[in-house]
Amino acid sequence: MTESKSPFWHVTVLTLFPEMFPGPLGHSLAGKALEKGTWTLEKLDIRSFTRDKHRSVDDTPFGGGPGMVMRPDVLDAAICDAKARQAAAGLTPGRIVYLSPRGRVLDQALVREIASEGCLTLLCGRYEGIDERVIEEHRLEEVSLGDFVLSGGEPAALCLIDAVVRLLPGVMGNVETAGEESFERGLLEYPHYTRPPVWNGRAVPEVLLSGHHEKVRAWRLEQAEKITQGRRPDLWSDYLASRPAPKVKKRRARRASAEPTKTTATPDGNGGSDEG
């Protein structure tokens, strides 16, 4: 029962640890989609491109210092082979991403872009990283998951692939279609609750049990906004700048009221803050 469908997306992963892929992705919807042929994965073992008898992929850094650097000749052979295989499969070569803490930080906008492109090559570093000349020679695009230390780029590659695959047609099924989830609007999630209605003496907010869909929607939006404003001022200001201008109420703001106009954000809404 292996249906063959033309894949929506291809990724080639260059790594010293090909056995790490698809790894955890094989246990989720992404794994199901991989079996269905919604996307394809090619793993290239960087070590297989060595030509010396010791199969060495790294060498000491010029200028001295700690650690080792991945060799440009080996990486070049791996990248060229990735390109050749993609061409042979009739794929339009897409961008080549080097997962690196120096890169542009991955966000949902970049994930969407990558998902729309059809073909991606990911290079995973180890040791102290790769010879800089490879980045220049192959115009590698550096992409980072965030500011923390990893021992290799592989976990970052897995995260990126997961983020992309869940956007491919047919992968998510009915869950959160059409991007109505709050994160798609640039907001953090509102609080979620399930049964039982009272647990350990904690009751679920009344409005959620009311069956009043409009009130539920309004409550969730308000919660998502409060949480975003309080925890992620960066997301909050993007949201304020991008959301449609609020309808102007008939009653105009009083010009010179006794109270001075607040310019500081308050936790209960847009207390005096700029709405973009």
DSSP structure string for 89-147: TTPPP--EEEEEEEEEEP-HHHHHHHHTSSEEEEE---TT-B-HHHHHHTTPEEEE--S
The span from the CA of 107 to the CA of 113, in Å, is 10
Binding status of residue 126 toward ligand 4FN by CB under 6 A = yes
Nearer to ligand 4FN, 15 or 182 (CB): 15
Count, residues near ligand 4FN per rule CB under 6 A: 18
- What is the smallest separation between the CB atom of 142 and ligand 4FN, expressed in angstroms? 8
Binding status of residue 125 toward ligand 4FN by CB under 6 A = yes
- Residues 85-114 touching ligand 4FN, rule: CB under 6 A, are 99-101
The span from the CA of 171 to the CA of 205, in Å, is 32
- What is the smallest separation between the CB atom of 154 and ligand 4FN, expressed in angstroms? 9
Token pair for 47: 């070590």
- What is the smallest separation between the CB atom of 130 and ligand 4FN, expressed in angstroms? 7
- Each residue of 162-182: b (16+ CB within 10 Å) or e? bbbbbbbeebeeeeeeeeeeb
Nearer to ligand 4FN, 33 or 69 (CB): 69
Nearer to ligand 4FN, 38 or 100 (CB): 100
Contact between 107 and 39 (Cβ < 8 Å): no
The span from the CA of 87 to the CA of 81, in Å, is 10
- What is the smallest separation between the CB atom of 67 and ligand 4FN, expressed in angstroms? 9
Q: Which amino acid is at 19?
A: E
- Residues 137-166 touching ligand 4FN, rule: CB under 6 A, are 144-153, 156
- What is the smallest separation between the CB atom of 229 and ligand 4FN, expressed in angstroms? 27
Which residues of this protein are in contact with ligand 4FN, per CB under 6 A? Answer: 99-101, 125-126, 128-129, 144-153, 156
